[in-house]
Structure 1
């Protein structure tokens, strides 16, 4: 399987059940998210604009996804909706078709560059900056059930890890 095939599998509406652990001294959280993931035409202006802003060649993009989410998170005593703007994710060509670079931007936040690797049908996204590092892994148990883990570490010592099980509600 190559990266384009993997990304084709993610399209649809997903229900995500999440558990998040923080370190140090913060309570764990649980949450639910409804994710709507759609492919975006590579020639759309928002894809080309994001590539140009990041000094990336839009002709080297192989896939673009728009990820919209509605989240609800809970701690031991509270439950609250969490607002987050849509995320545009763009994957680029690579020599081996199993790894390469990506860009993502959520709402009007800064553009985040990273690296992806697809190995043994597990996709790993890696982001490294001076302020933080993030690793996220996604794999499928079957076409309508996927698992996702993430680990975020900040320079100030803060750490967060999460596990999500995600069920596809519809394919588009």
Structure 2
């Protein structure tokens, strides 16, 4: 599956359950999210605008996603609502490419992606290390997602999400 097809399959309304393990403090926390994921074609102006601060032009953009998230962690009284963009640059011959992530007023982050055996892997450098996320489908309406935050070679945090498609997102206009 190519990257554009993979990202098209991510579109929809999703219910997500996750467990986060903080290895430094030996604590765990569960949470739930409602996600609305919109597939964006390469020509969407928001994708170009998200890439501009990192010096990317629009010619290598393959596609993108707009992700609206409404989340709450167990034990927390407030919900977190956010919107983010993911911009996928066309892959190289090895099937790897650049992925730009932009959320609100935070600086855009640049990472890399690859798809192997229908599993998307995203690696994003952070201020404290590196975040590696893997996403795959158990069936068209059930996907799994794991993430690991590393500082050097030490794993600081790990999470697992199971996500159920609740419906399709409206097509981007």
User: Under a length normalisation based on structure 2, what TM-score does the superposition of the two structures give?
Assistant: 0.90
The structural deviation recorded for 1:116 is: 0.2
Once superposed, which parts of structure 1, at least 4 consecutive aligned residues long, lie more than 3 Å away? none
Contact 2:113 2:123 in 1 (8 A): yes
Indicate the larger mover: 160-169 or 130-139.
Answer: 130-139
Q: Could you list the runs of 5+ residues in structure 1 that have no partner in the other structure?
A: none
CA RMSD of aligned residues (A): 1.7
2:6 aligned counterpart, secondary structure = helix
Which position in structure 1 is the counterpart of 2:106?
109
Cα distance change on mapping 1:140 and 1:158 into 2, 3 Å = closer
For 2:5 and 2:61, how far apart are their aligned partners in 1?
A: 14
Q: What do the CA deviations read for 1:31-61 (whole angstroms, capped 9, x no partner)?
A: 0000110022433332211222111121110
Q: What do the CA deviations read for 1:93-136 (whole angstroms, capped 9, x no partner)?
A: 12227321110011111110000010011000001256320000
Which position in structure 1 is the counterpart of 2:37?
37
Indicate the larger mover: 20-29 or 117-126.
Answer: 20-29
Which position in structure 1 is the counterpart of 2:5?
5
The structural deviation recorded for 1:154 is: 3.7
Which position in structure 1 is the counterpart of 2:149?
152
1:81 aligned counterpart, secondary structure = coil
2:136 aligned counterpart, secondary structure = strand
2:55 aligned counterpart, secondary structure = coil
For 1:34 and 1:55, how far apart are their aligned partners in 2?
A: 32
For 2:55 and 2:4, how far apart are their aligned partners in 1?
A: 22
For 2:14 and 2:50, how far apart are their aligned partners in 1?
A: 25
Q: Could you list the runs of 5+ residues in structure 2 that have no partner in the other structure?
A: none
Does 1:14 pair with 2:11? no
Contact 2:16 2:164 in 1 (8 A): yes
User: Under a length normalisation based on structure 1, what TM-score does the superposition of the two structures give?
Assistant: 0.90
Q: What do the CA deviations read for 1:9-39 (whole angstroms, capped 9, x no partner)?
A: 0000000010000022252100000011002
